Amino acid sequence: MTDNRVVVYKGTGQVAVESIDYPKLEIPKEVASHFGIAQKAPHAAILKLVTTNICGSDQHMVRGRTTAPVGQTLGHEITGEVVEVGEDVLFVKKGDICSTPFNIACGRCRMCNEGKTGICLNVNPARAGAAYGYVDMGGWIGGQADYVMVPYADFNLLPFPDRDQALDKILDLTMLSDIFPTGYHGAYTAGTRTGSTVYVAGAGPVGLAAAYSAQLLGASVVIVGDMNAERLAQARSFGCETVDLSSDGELVDQIEKITGEPEVDAAVDAVGFEARGHGEGADEAPATVLNDAMTVARAGAGIGIPGLYVTGDPGAADDNAKEGTLGMRLGLGWAKSHSFATGQCPVKRYNRGLMNMILAGKAEIAKAVNATVISLDQAPEGYADFDKGAAKKYVIDPHGMVKK
């Protein structure tokens, strides 16, 4: 049987590519036993990875900022070719190239039936919601690999309608598994509409995807704040205004210089729990972005929060932050009647529509996030460069299927 290589967390700041068993049509033992269901998964498919991406959420684990154990497999951004299907898979076929939402969903529970696939009730013994290759997310094997098993394949997989077209646009389509829907979710739930002014905190890949999505939604001005000059330049490359939070002064003053008033119609937190205070060399202050968002969002505005927050952070600056308790000015948000949208993006809510935009030539998300192709063997180097702040979205090409 063919071996399967996968990226594995080896300790703080370290990943390696290791060989594991080729996937079986089986769900994790702990999931099966907890829910009293069969481990055998005739509803599943096995994918040969076409592309799989390095995500900022992966970096939180690799930095030692979660409770991920050594040996945790990595990777939840999965696009692949179906090479095997179980006997209960009716509509997905061998040879289909598909996008796989990072959310694992059964398609049967109350949450899935309500379209809330990020909090499926039947895939994780620890809590609602599961993902591939992530700590406390159900024990599912990661997808930064040669091959991966996808359960409930007819529900979870999004087949692309034409193979050749898919391979031509694969660097855009690979973003459908996570960051494009996640960024879009952040902008949409913040209330971005035609003519809106929008502030996006963070110019990493999700922040850039949120900014690009705000433009798709019709925003008149999109302002991106960050401390990384290279990433801010990437935001400007597709028409965003930027604020350098390390040196530009008060955020409200900078927004007023751009829009003529010190507030925006919608705000997006694409940073999450490793946020830092303003100014060069500022210390970590995990509530900074949330408080900024409430400060700059006008009364009645929405705040989309695709940035990751966790309940266990062993590397946090204080005991409260270690359990996800942050110094958030909720009174300010309450007084301004803000709405907040948190949690995993329900990818299936958006991925088909965004796929159609890509295939019609109306969305070039790969260019916006500076998609950069590497091999699976280069994954450790990609992780290291991304951790240093490279303004790139690393796309792993395990089988050399991405056209040069």
CA–CA distance, 273 with 62 (Å, rounded to integer) = 15
Same structural domain, 248 and 374: no
- The answer to whether the predicted template modeling score (pTM) of the entire model surpasses 0.85 is yes
Same structural domain, 312 and 253: yes
Same structural domain, 36 and 111: yes
Same structural domain, 164 and 297: no
The answer to whether residue 402 is domain-embedded is: no
Residue where one domain finishes, among candidates 317, 341, 365: 341
The answer to whether residue 54 is domain-embedded is: yes
Greater confidence (404 vs 284) lies with 284
**Structure confidence at residue 247 (pLDDT):** 87
CA–CA distance, 195 with 213 (Å, rounded to integer) = 13
Same structural domain, 167 and 301: no
Alpha helices (H) in 78-178, listed in sequence order: 110-113, 153-156, 163-168, 170-173
Q: Report the number of distinct structural domains present in the chain.
A: 2
Percent of the chain residues past pLDDT 70, beyond the cut: 99
Domain holding 359, by residue range, is 4-178+346-396
Q: In this predicted model, what pLDDT tens digit does every residue of 326-352 receive, in sequence order? A: 999 999 999 999 999 999 999 999 999
**Order of all β-strands in the sheet with 264-269:** 241-244, 221-226, 197-201, 264-269, 297-304, 339-341
Same structural domain, 22 and 166: yes
Amino acid occupying residue 237? S
Q: In this predicted model, what pLDDT tens digit does every residue of 108-164 receive, in sequence order? A: 999 999 999 999 999 999 999 999 999 999 999 999 999 999 999 999 999 999 999
The three state secondary structure string of 137-153 is CCCCCCCCECEEEECCH
In the DSSP assignment, the letter for residue 345 is -
Residue where one domain finishes, among candidates 325, 341, 357: 341
134: domain CATH number is 3.90.180.10
Query: pLDDT confidence of 104, banded at 50, 70, 90?
Result: very high
Same structural domain, 248 and 291: yes
Q: In this predicted model, what pLDDT tens digit does every residue of 168-212 receive, in sequence order? A: 999 999 999 999 999 999 999 999 999 999 999 999 999 999 999
The answer to whether residue 76 is domain-embedded is: yes
Q: In this predicted model, what pLDDT tens digit does every residue of 9-32 receive, in sequence order? A: 999 999 999 999 999 999 999 999
The answer to whether residue 172 is domain-embedded is: yes
Same structural domain, 146 and 211: no
- In 197-276, beta strands by DSSP E: 197-201, 221-226, 241-244, 264-269
